[in-house]
Structure 1
Amino acid sequence: MPPPPPPPQRNIVTEIQAWLMALPIVTRFLFVSTITITLVCNIGLISPQYMIFRLPLVVYKLQVWRLFTAFFVNQLSFNFLIHLYFLYQYSKNLETSLFSNRPADYAFFIAFSMATILILGWIVNSVSFSESLLLAIIYVWSQYFREMDVSFMFGVRFKAVFLPWAMVAMDYLMGYGLNIGKVVGILVGHFYYFLEKVYPESNGQAKILQTPAIFERFLPSNQQGGDGQGYTFTPPNRQNGPNGPNNGGHSWGPGRRL
């Protein structure tokens, strides 16, 4: 009897590539940009000083790339790995639920958040906005899944609506002080949520924010994200919880450990 054939060898590069391609398109872009720009700056190819936000250099030297790169510059550390995990987890969840099969709308949300963060960041004299963008994403997610239970550090459980504030409080309790960048992200996320949902529903008005046609041209609405799996989204019922009898949306399970 001939010997069994050897097991196929795993190609790590191919597996990583397949994993990335399975991500929804906008989340993939954010994830890859964060890793690429952070690595380029930390291994010495380009100084971070050429990537952070400096308004005079943007205006007078036309270094317009800073308007983009300032959102993806990080320091290599354990906190950076946590940042990547949060970005992967909550951006992916938001894009495949609330923005299911609407990549143009999600890209517009990201662009709107970045533009607003730039304005507030300039006011508070910030030069790096990665945490602000992450908190804007998490805040909007927390509003639409506000009744979901999440488990934070040391197993503390609370409703998802408190998650952004818990992240700010954790920094303060660990001795880092008040993280202005995260507060800016929360304010921007709330501003978007107010314009997108609260104001139109409370006043019976049409939505203020409309996705420009140029976003739809490059990211048509019939394009499915990543692995092609879309979800029909119904915002969780606030009385019955995210998995209550009146909720017809995607089931997210009993909670999410951070």
Structure 2
Amino acid sequence: MAYQTLSNEYMNMPPVTRAYTTACVITTLAVQLELTSPFQLYFNPILIYKQGQLWRLITTFLFFGTFGFNFFFNMIFTYKYCRMLEEGSFRNRTSDFVWMFLFGATFMIGFAFFVNLLFLGQAFTIMIVYIWSRRNPDVRMNFFGLINFQAPYLPWVLLGFSVLLGNAVYVDLMGIAVGHIYFFLEDVFPKQPGGFQILKTPTLLKSWFDQVEDLNYMRLPEENPGGFEWDEGQRAPEEPPNDNPPQ
């Protein structure tokens, strides 16, 4: 019964979220079983450029450390907010969601050339959280039952928590910065006087991902995908729901 429940939950995940979280778990499991080493996964411009180890451009986003609190903490947030974005404002827009992934990853790799960052998965998670939080400003959050706040403060709460865990502050700041750049270019600038759409999803991505609608998963409530309640968001009663804000 438990296996069937987990299997159904897994298959109900939207495709991009399912693919990304699965890749993260498989990568970590491979390191745990000593099938590969973090030294073969981390971002290294010299090895990428001179030895053609292009896989590092991808694996740097897939490894959150060996199994432990930091891994599970990051994976829960990655799964939850990635899924909420994909089932919310990116509903039936898989190509646009993939384009957001590529945009964020490209910017972070560019930043990584100037700062000494080996793995970018945590920054990528913060970027996802930031974009979701700005698109759902009226959601009230409760973090581990300790503090209440509105959704736009969530990335900063996570930054503070990350600092308490001893992580480098610039990792989360990079995720916030890239998330803000995407949010500004996609949601803010086009609505300004004289503004226009800058981030247009390439036709190639649309032809790959938008030919057939994925009907193999059902949409869960945006505030509580997967049944997690420990930091469940709740919309302010004085504001109408805004599950699918206009782009």
Q: Specify if TM > 0.5.
A: yes
CA gap of 1:210–1:231, structure 2 versus 1, over 3 A, is farther
Which residue of structure 1 lines up, in the alignment, with residue 40 of structure 2? 50
Answer yes or no: is 1:81 the counterpart of 2:72. yes
CA gap of 1:179–1:18, structure 2 versus 1, over 3 A, is same
Q: What secondary structure is seen at the aligned counterpart in 1 of 2:141? A: strand
What is the total number of aligned residue pairs between the two structures? 231
User: Could you tell me how far apart the structure 2 residues matched to 1:137 and 1:225 are?
Assistant: 23
Counterpart selection for 1:66 from 56, 65, 68: 56
CA gap of 1:220–1:58, structure 2 versus 1, over 3 A, is same
**What code does the residue aligned with 2:21 have?**
F
CA gap of 1:204–1:58, structure 2 versus 1, over 3 A, is same
Task: Structure 1: give runs of 5+ residues left out of the alignment.
Answer: 1-9, 233-240, 251-258
Displacement, 1:247?
4.3
Which residue of structure 1 lines up, in the alignment, with residue 230 of structure 2? none
- Deviation larger for 147-156 or 52-61: 147-156
Which residue of structure 2 lines up, in the alignment, with residue 29 of structure 1? 19
**What code does the residue aligned with 1:68 have?**
I
Which residue of structure 1 lines up, in the alignment, with residue 84 of structure 2? 93
- Deviation larger for 126-135 or 223-232: 223-232
User: Could you tell me how far apart the structure 2 residues matched to 1:243 and 1:30 are?
Assistant: 34
Which residue of structure 1 lines up, in the alignment, with residue 181 of structure 2? 191
Displacement, 1:145?
0.8
Task: Structure 2: give runs of 5+ residues left out of the alignment.
Answer: 223-234
Counterpart selection for 1:115 from 106, 109, 129: 106
**Preserved contact between residue 140 and residue 236 of structure 2 (Cα < 8 Å):** no
- Deviation larger for 149-158 or 52-61: 149-158
CA gap of 1:230–1:95, structure 2 versus 1, over 3 A, is same
User: Could you tell me how far apart the structure 1 residues matched to 2:220 and 2:213 are?
Assistant: 10
User: Could you tell me how far apart the structure 2 residues matched to 1:86 and 1:25 are?
Assistant: 17
User: Could you tell me how far apart the structure 1 residues matched to 2:53 and 2:166 are?
Assistant: 31
Q: Which has the larger radius of gyration?
A: 1
**What code does the residue aligned with 1:16 have?**
L
Any residues of structure 2 matched to 1:111-190 within 5 Å, and which?
111-172=102-163, 174=164, 176=166, 178-190=168-180
Percentage of matched positions with identical amino acids: 26
* TM-score using structure 1 length: 0.82
Deviation by residue 1:212-255 (Cα, 9 ceiling, x = unmatched) = 112112211652365144999xxxxxxxx6655654646xxxxx
Deviation by residue 1:108-129 (Cα, 9 ceiling, x = unmatched) = 1011101111111221110100
Q: What secondary structure is seen at the aligned counterpart in 2 of 1:168? A: helix
RMSD of aligned alpha carbons: 2.3
**Preserved contact between residue 64 and residue 122 of structure 2 (Cα < 8 Å):** no
Counterpart selection for 1:214 from 192, 200, 204: 204
CA gap of 1:243–1:68, structure 2 versus 1, over 3 A, is farther
User: Could you tell me how far apart the structure 1 residues matched to 2:141 and 2:74 are?
Assistant: 17
Q: What secondary structure is seen at the aligned counterpart in 1 of 2:192? A: helix
CA gap of 1:207–1:102, structure 2 versus 1, over 3 A, is same
Deviation by residue 1:81-121 (Cα, 9 ceiling, x = unmatched) = 11111111101001111001111100110111011111112
Q: What secondary structure is seen at the aligned counterpart in 2 of 1:158? A: strand
**Preserved contact between residue 20 and residue 28 of structure 1 (Cα < 8 Å):** yes
Displacement, 1:202?
1.7
User: Could you tell me how far apart the structure 2 residues matched to 1:32 and 1:94 are?
Assistant: 17
CA gap of 1:226–1:31, structure 2 versus 1, over 3 A, is farther
